[in-house]
Structure 1
Amino acid sequence: MKKRRVVIGVIGTVLDKRGKRANRWVKWRPTVGLCQQPDLPVDRLELLYQAKDRGMTEQLSDDIREVSPHTEVRTHTVAIDDPWDFEEVYAAFLDFARHYAFDTENEEYLVHITTGTHVAQICWFLLTEARYLPASLLQTGPVKNRDDDNRAAGTYSIIDLDLSRYTTLTSRFQHEQQQSVSFLKSGIDTRNATFNRMIDQIERVALRSDAPILLIGPTGAGKSFLAKRIYQLRQSRHLVAGKLVAVNCATLRGDNAMSTLFGHVKGAFTGALQPRTGLLREADGGVLFLDEIAELGLDEQAMLLKAIEEKTFFPFGSDKEVYSDFQLIAGTHRDMPTWVAEGRFREDLYSRINMWTFALPGLAERREDIAPNVEYELQRFAASRQMQVRFDKEARERYLRFARSPQAAWRGNFRELSSSVARMATLAEQGRITVELVDEEIQRLTQSWQPASQKALPVISEEIDLFEQSQLETVIRVCRQCHSLSEAGRMLFAVSRQKKSNPNDADRLRKYLARFGLSWESVRNNA
């Protein structure tokens, strides 16, 4: 089916106004002329104008209906006080683009750049380049030969400009890029410099390339979440028309793996009573996210490579190829070079998906980002439960001290942090997370990170260096092995006590434990 042609433009207060009464029909007017092109029928014209030009716009709309009855004219008022102000014009056009219901499946779009100020034309360029407008540029012009019968209609050309010449102008609108980066981070004010640089690069790749993206990182580091945000970013710029299809490859085994990914025909295997489309075909025109891609079998890997490179594959049990054009985002926590060296993952497939590889750090490597993520999780919980939840000041400080300390292992990464905040918020009376709730949660986390063969360390109220943490763990282990404070002191200070004429090992140990808010009793009671 042929797509409808839609032209977007702004009224030309000078060129479109030329001529009065019948005289206007013999002079070239860009907006009317573009609707008089016999080989460029316009199904719909989206015409932007300022309120003060309403009368002229109505006259222009009537004239277009007369010369091109099949063209639907839709008018839109825009508020622009100064048409020579870049930011004002850009903001007005951007607002129109963001609220316009583009239908790229059924319509093709052209942006008419002949009318309006030079500022308006440049803003149309920038918005088209950034894909806020999924369109080509349309230029119209007058006929130079006065005897030409097509004088009133003029000429037209559809152009594809190299907009790299306007990079100095795009710096005025860098906040738009920053908004894209913020979108990938869900508005979280992350402070880890390495992570922020990576997100900035992912944003540029997402908007400029449809090549596969590989996200590597431990479980819970946010691979699935980031894949979804990448898809939403590309969708907002009209770079994908299809949907996001996601699957965890670790859940696929045997015939089920083939069938789930590539589909099957009826009777392909026992139990295949009905044909199945498969996820690759469902992702046509969109994004396919394969989490834990390293868990795929070698047969599935071979078929996936063909599907990526040729955009075709055979459904399970079929001798007829099907087509699917999708962008692949893959995730894994495996060491892929090792996986390839051991023969568990095809080298050719790894080479194909390794063009854009980003290693997501775990939460323990981004401790400076814990505070903003705690706030994000708290707000998310509150929004989902339609209730206000907050930390008491002391409780928040205590939780963050622990969360950022070396004691906090965060083996489950951001997923574990989310669960931790959700537990405290759920137990909060009247929406207040108290010190008592924080202490309970710290104890719960500390115990969950200890191997079953070890007893949990007592909770430390202050952040301590890794060096001191190791030293303190040794002291606590000795205390638990001894029956008295003095015995533990003698064992711990066996060498240095020999140099003292009157050693007081018990007092020395008591003062050491007190530095961390601990006592002999608390260490023994927690044994």
Structure 2
Amino acid sequence: MKKNVVIGFLGIQLDAGKKRRWRPSIAVTQHGSFPVHRIELLYDRAFHRLASNVKKDIEDASPATEVLLQQVDLRDPWDFQEVYGALFDFARDYGFDEDREDYFVHLTTGTHVAQICWFLLTESRHVPAKLVQTSPPRGDDGEVTGRYNIVDLDLSRYDALQQRFDLIAEEYNALLKAGIETRNTAFNSLIERIELVATNSDAPLLLLGDTGTGKSELAERIYELKLQRRRVKGRLVHVNCATLKGERAMSSLFGHRRGTMGTGSPDRRGLLREADGGVLFLDEINELGLDEQAMILHAVETGRFLAVGSDHEITSRFQLIAGTNRNLGQLVSEGKFRPDLYARLNLWTFRLPSLTERREDIEPNIEFELNRAEKLLGNRVGFNVDARARYLDFAVSPATPWPGNFRDLGASVQRLCTLAPRGRITLTLVEQEIDALESQWTSALANPDDTLLRDLLGDRTDEIDVFDRVQLAYVIRMCRKSPSLSATGRVLFAASRASKTSRNDADRLKKYLDRFDLNWSAITAE
């Protein structure tokens, strides 16, 4: 059977018995239902005599209890830093043996600062103990034992609390997913990770993903989550960096002083200052110039920046979310993105999967778009059974590319809802929408090399390997840029012609084109 060990401060007033007969450090050892095998009393050397007297009184009242006095000197028992440091050192050196002993921290004695420090150390498990709180007896009938209560701060033991925490986490995840019952395992795991980071860290977040994967919408929901968790108080400032071009980019971001941008121009606060206390979302951050990137990095790290034309820095503390559909690592290697800013952003990077990677989420997203269309149009629209089956079959098919991702899906459902007669989406309407989407995507996704070759070769293009198509398309473009067959050959064979005895480049090019039944006249006539 394990031994019960109580640890607590000597009560300078209460244990001295100056105000009442009840003395907590003695009383805690006198409860038959809570046997105390050892009590550790922490005391200051100035009160050594009182500690010795209390030790003797405990041994008289509870002979089975071992009393150990632990000298802990404090210059100021109300100084949080000093008290916490002293108790932390005590806990580190104590040598807890949880296999043989159960530990209890006595909160009744000691200053309020000491009680707070005990609580923090116990909750963090630096002191592997439960809390015991004692109170004096009711009335004045001569009883001196009083009452005690024990609290275990190991929250994992409380099923109801754990379930509540789980429900709250689910609510936060639902917020980040806009309430959509997503089914994709990888995406759900991504959202759970974002929720943990957003609620526990103020560091920048980098959202990666193709156009239409929902970076802007997710940034807005992350802001809402941070607002609910009281990690921010200010507003969300959404900046599309692709619109910040030329000399006015600095002014838009950082503001400017009166007259700096031209005669009579007033002071401008700038977007970074507008984001003070909130979140700054820099969408398409790769579009910023290197100078703007340097100033953004300085502002993120220091909370300060210079407005254009100002000699004094402005303070703005904001949390940064950046979005891009480009490979920033590659841009760094090409000298188009600052490596120091990339390193700062790359602490928390989340890649949003495309719609084609989440086909199991298409059906719940269709429901979401129907609900959104209802709010926009003011009436509820639904699918006929056959129309819904046809549209869903098309939407989840591996052959459906969805190049615009959720943006394409949302626009498609909105068109269907707008055109639906009497609030019902029919099979005919779905077929028309599918034809329109396929036509639209065929034009947008057309391979320029394939188009070029089909203009010259027609269906024979399908007989050419993909590798050869790329090379042949390049040769054709070079022919159309050059004045003659020989001039084209000199450009195409510049590297190899130096090692050849015969430098008839025109003949080499003519033989290459003959492989595909092409000639100079046919190419240049187009």
Output the TM-score relative to the length of structure 2: 0.56
Matched residue pairs, number? 313
The alpha carbon displacement at 1:164 in A equals 4.9
Q: 1:329 to 1:417 in 2, by over 3 A?
A: same
For 2:299, the aligned partner's letter is A
2:341 to 313, 325, 349: 349
The answer as to 2:242 corresponding to 1:283 is: no
Query: What corresponds to 1:299 in structure 2?
Result: 291
Instruction: Tell me how far apart the structure 2 counterparts of residues 400 and 282 of structure 1 sit (CA, whole Å).
Output: 44
2:440 to 442, 448, 454: 448
The alpha carbon displacement at 1:161 in A equals 3.0
The alpha carbon displacement at 1:451 in A equals 3.0
The answer as to 2:171 corresponding to 1:171 is: no
Instruction: Tell me how far apart the structure 2 counterparts of residues 206 and 214 of structure 1 sit (CA, whole Å).
Output: 12
For 2:359, the aligned partner's letter is R
Q: Give deviations 1:365-384, integer Å, cap 9, x for gaps.
A: 11111100000000111123
Matches for 1:28-47 after TM superposition, within 5 Å: none
Instruction: Tell me how far apart the structure 2 counterparts of residues 188 and 280 of structure 1 sit (CA, whole Å).
Output: 32
Q: 1:452 to 1:219 in 2, by over 3 A?
A: closer
The alpha carbon displacement at 1:155 in A equals 6.2
Instruction: Tell me how far apart the structure 2 counterparts of residues 259 and 454 of structure 1 sit (CA, whole Å).
Output: 40
2:316 to 324, 333, 344: 324
RMSD over aligned CA atoms reads 2.7
Query: What corresponds to 1:161 in structure 2?
Result: 120
Instruction: Tell me how far apart the structure 2 counterparts of residues 204 and 194 of structure 1 sit (CA, whole Å).
Output: 16
2:377 to 385, 398, 417: 385
The answer as to 2:358 corresponding to 1:366 is: yes
Classify the secondary structure of the residue corresponding to 1:254. Answer: coil
The alpha carbon displacement at 1:305 in A equals 0.7
The answer as to 2:197 corresponding to 1:229 is: no
For 1:245, the aligned partner's letter is V
Instruction: Tell me how far apart the structure 1 counterparts of residues 272 and 238 of structure 2 sit (CA, whole Å).
Output: 10
The alpha carbon displacement at 1:453 in A equals 9.8
Query: What corresponds to 1:249 in structure 2?
Result: 241
Bigger radius of gyration: 2
For 2:258, the aligned partner's letter is K
Instruction: Tell me how far apart the structure 2 counterparts of residues 344 and 272 of structure 1 sit (CA, whole Å).
Output: 35
For 1:315, the aligned partner's letter is A
Classify the secondary structure of the residue corresponding to 2:281. Answer: strand
Matches for 1:403-422 after TM superposition, within 5 Å: 403-422=395-414
Output the TM-score relative to the length of structure 1: 0.56
Classify the secondary structure of the residue corresponding to 2:349. Answer: strand
For 2:162, the aligned partner's letter is S
The alpha carbon displacement at 1:268 in A equals 1.4
Classify the secondary structure of the residue corresponding to 1:451. Answer: helix
Classify the secondary structure of the residue corresponding to 1:358. Answer: strand
Instruction: Tell me how far apart the structure 2 counterparts of residues 386 and 185 of structure 1 sit (CA, whole Å).
Output: 24
For 1:184, the aligned partner's letter is L
The answer as to 2:311 corresponding to 1:311 is: no
Classify the secondary structure of the residue corresponding to 1:344. Answer: coil
Q: Give deviations 1:471-504, integer Å, cap 9, x for gaps.
A: xxxxxx979x9xxxxxxxxxxxxxxxxxxxxxxx
The answer (yes or no) to whether the contact 1:142–1:155 under 8 Å persists in 2 is no
The alpha carbon displacement at 1:255 in A equals 2.0
Tell me the percent identity: 52
Q: 1:225 to 1:454 in 2, by over 3 A?
A: closer
Matches for 1:67-78 after TM superposition, within 5 Å: none
Classify the secondary structure of the residue corresponding to 1:245. Answer: strand
Q: Give deviations 1:21-42, integer Å, cap 9, x for gaps.
A: xxxxx9xxxxxxxxxxxxxxxx
The answer as to 2:392 corresponding to 1:400 is: yes
The alpha carbon displacement at 1:350 in A equals 0.4
Matches for 1:118-137 after TM superposition, within 5 Å: none
Matches for 1:163-242 after TM superposition, within 5 Å: 163-164=123-124, 166-168=154-156, 169=158, 170-173=161-164, 174-242=166-234
- Structure 1 stretches lacking a partner, 5+ long: 1-25, 27-140, 145-153, 456-476, 482-527
For 1:305, the aligned partner's letter is L
Classify the secondary structure of the residue corresponding to 1:450. Answer: helix
The answer (yes or no) to whether the contact 1:314–1:322 under 8 Å persists in 2 is yes
The answer as to 2:271 corresponding to 1:269 is: no
The alpha carbon displacement at 1:385 in A equals 2.2
Q: 1:348 to 1:164 in 2, by over 3 A?
A: same
The answer (yes or no) to whether the contact 2:377–2:418 under 8 Å persists in 1 is no
Q: Give deviations 1:21-75, integer Å, cap 9, x for gaps.
A: xxxxx9xxxxxxxxxxxxxxxxxxxxxxxxxxxxxxxxxxxxxxxxxxxxxxxxx
Q: Give deviations 1:336-377, integer Å, cap 9, x for gaps.
A: 110000000000000011100000011111111110000000
Q: 1:272 to 1:341 in 2, by over 3 A?
A: farther
Classify the secondary structure of the residue corresponding to 2:225. Answer: helix
Instruction: Tell me how far apart the structure 1 counterparts of residues 443 and 384 of structure 2 sit (CA, whole Å).
Output: 32
The alpha carbon displacement at 1:184 in A equals 0.4
Q: Give deviations 1:253-306, integer Å, cap 9, x for gaps.
A: 122210111111012122561011111111111100000000000000010110
For 1:343, the aligned partner's letter is G
The answer (yes or no) to whether the contact 2:370–2:381 under 8 Å persists in 1 is yes
The answer (yes or no) to whether the contact 2:283–2:324 under 8 Å persists in 1 is yes
Instruction: Tell me how far apart the structure 2 counterparts of residues 403 and 352 of structure 1 sit (CA, whole Å).
Output: 39
Q: 1:453 to 1:195 in 2, by over 3 A?
A: closer
